[in-house]
Amino acid sequence: MRALSALPPQVRQYLVVTGNYWAFTLTDGALRMLVVLHFHSLGYTPLQIAALFLFYEIFGVVTNLVGGYLGARIGLNRTMNIGLGIQVAALLMLTLPAAFLTVPWVMAAQALSGIAKDLNKMSAKSSIKLLVAEGEQGTLYKWVAILTGSKNALKGVGFFLGGALLALLGFAGAVLAMAAALALVWVASLVLLKKDLGKASAKPKFRDMLSKSRTINVLSAARLFLFGARDVWFVVALPVYLSSVFGWDFWLVGGFLAAWVIGYGMVQSIAPSITRRADGQVPDGRAAAFWATLLAGIPAAIAIALATGWQVQPMLLVGLMLFGVVFAVNSSLHSYLIVSNAKADGVSLDVGFYYMSNAMGRLLGTLLSGWVYQAYGLPACLWVSSGLVMLAALISWALPRRSRR
């Protein structure tokens, strides 16, 4: 505690924000895996499972847009704590006996979880802009990369945790345990998080939710297609494929997806080293377009291997690991560029608008994941993924060649 008190105030707040984000992410990843595996074991089709997450993604779109406005008006500490409280309520909704867990009820709980997740995420990402000195772009990139990468690594741990808790405690017991743990984090955050963090100097108007910056709009469009490309195979198609085609049990499915996301998060954390330019400048729009173009060929190559039936299992697993590495660099670059280009005063307005597009991409990918997989199989999901990444790459060429300082 003495060492923590000796740290600069902005570093202590960064640690509180990151700790909140980590705790939330563990429950979010575990809940995603619990719902997919539990309802698949009950005989739900892939499209029905995707429908369970429909409100999660829809409300994520709305929350990012409105949440950015709220963060600028009432402070990011409040929006983050509201998100933690809502997630506890969403988890408790799923502790009812199985007879009460109807599709509408689960969709409502997922809607609350989607609201909570994006309030938490928007608050965490916006806070970083305010905790780094103006002009320290290298430090900003590094802090954003660490926050984003560590979050995704813990989301992978959450996937494994979800599969393990389902096997050990059953669905209701697993969800109750997570609700209790997150409630403790919520109470600590209410005490420790700085008041009025991120409040705009002037009260923003409701119309200010929509971005007026061309750079923010281009980044948002590219983000939509980038995350649609990931979720079109990752959300429903891949877990169901591994379980039904490869015959993997809950532990193995959860473990593989956990390893994928943990590795993905680790690469995100070191992305500043990977994308470092020879002239010492931070990366710009050219780098985002290059890495997206590189990513587009990977799902297409995996789809060809699956269609030809050549070494299906190793090609799929190795290909998805490679996709994770390149996608992680793309995601980290995007996360830095949005925070760097957002206005410092009322930063959550720009960040919220951007992550609204992120949520729209996840919604698109989730719906396509269930429908395309059920109708055409995993190779088709991968071809769709490749096409969406190419759209993200083409849009990214319109980004400025130098990050705004």
Which has the higher per-residue pLDDT, 204 or 340?
340
Q: What letter represents residue 217's amino acid?
A: N
Contact 31, 175 (CB under 8 A): yes
Give mean pLDDT, residues 48-58. 76
Q: What is residue 356's predicted lDDT score, i.e. its pLDDT?
A: 80
Contact 106, 190 (CB under 8 A): no
Give mean pLDDT, residues 203-209. 55
Name the 3-class secondary structure at 186.
helix
Tell me the per-residue pLDDT of 141-154, one tens digit each, with 9 for 90 and over: 777 777 777 777 78
Contacts (Cβ under 8 Å, ≥6 apart) of 46: 236, 237, 240, 369, 370, 373, 374
Among residues 68, 53, 171, 62, the alpha carbon closest in space to that of 113 is found at 53
d(CA 145, CA 272): 7
d(CA 224, CA 231): 11
Average pLDDT, the chain: 79
The reported pTM is 0.73
CA-derived radius of gyration, the chain: 20
Among residues 251, 80, 262, the alpha carbon closest in space to that of 155 is found at 262
Residue 299: pLDDT band (50, 70, 90) is very high
Give whichever of 43-57, 117-131, 199-213, 217-231 has the largest mean pLDDT: 217-231
76 φ/ψ angles, rounded to the nearest 5 degrees: -70, -25
Which has the higher per-residue pLDDT, 347 or 183?
183
Q: Retrieve residue 264's tokens.
A: 């993905």
What contacts 24+ positions apart, CB below 8 Å, involve 75-79?
A: 75/195, 75/196, 75/197, 75/198, 75/199, 76/123, 76/126, 76/127, 76/130, 76/197, 76/198, 76/348, 77/123, 77/193, 77/194, 77/195, 77/196, 77/197, 77/198, 79/119, 79/122, 79/123, 79/348
Tell me the per-residue pLDDT of 64-103, one tens digit each, with 9 for 90 and over: 777 666 766 677 778 888 888 999 999 999 888 877 777 7
Among residues 395, 372, 365, 379, the alpha carbon closest in space to that of 54 is found at 365
Q: What letter represents residue 66's amino acid?
A: V
On the question of pLDDT at 123 being above 50, the answer is yes
Give mean pLDDT, residues 1-20. 65
Which has the higher per-residue pLDDT, 61 or 346?
61
Contact 349, 343 (CB under 8 A): yes
| Length of the chain in terms of residues written | 405
DSSP-assigned letter for residue 282 = P
Query: Which domains, and CATH codes, for the chain?
Result: 8-192+208-396 (1.20.1250.20)
Q: What is residue 404's predicted lDDT score, i.e. its pLDDT?
A: 45
Q: Retrieve residue 400's tokens.
A: 């400025």
Tell me the per-residue pLDDT of 214-261, one tens digit each, with 9 for 90 and over: 778 888 889 899 999 999 988 788 888 888 888 887 678 777 877 888
Tell me the per-residue pLDDT of 340-399, one tens digit each, with 9 for 90 and over: 766 655 566 667 777 788 888 888 888 888 789 888 889 999 999 999 999 999 998 887
Q: What is residue 298's predicted lDDT score, i.e. its pLDDT?
A: 93
Contact 31, 162 (CB under 8 A): yes
Residue 334 CB-half CA count within 13 A: 30
Q: What is residue 405's predicted lDDT score, i.e. its pLDDT?
A: 43
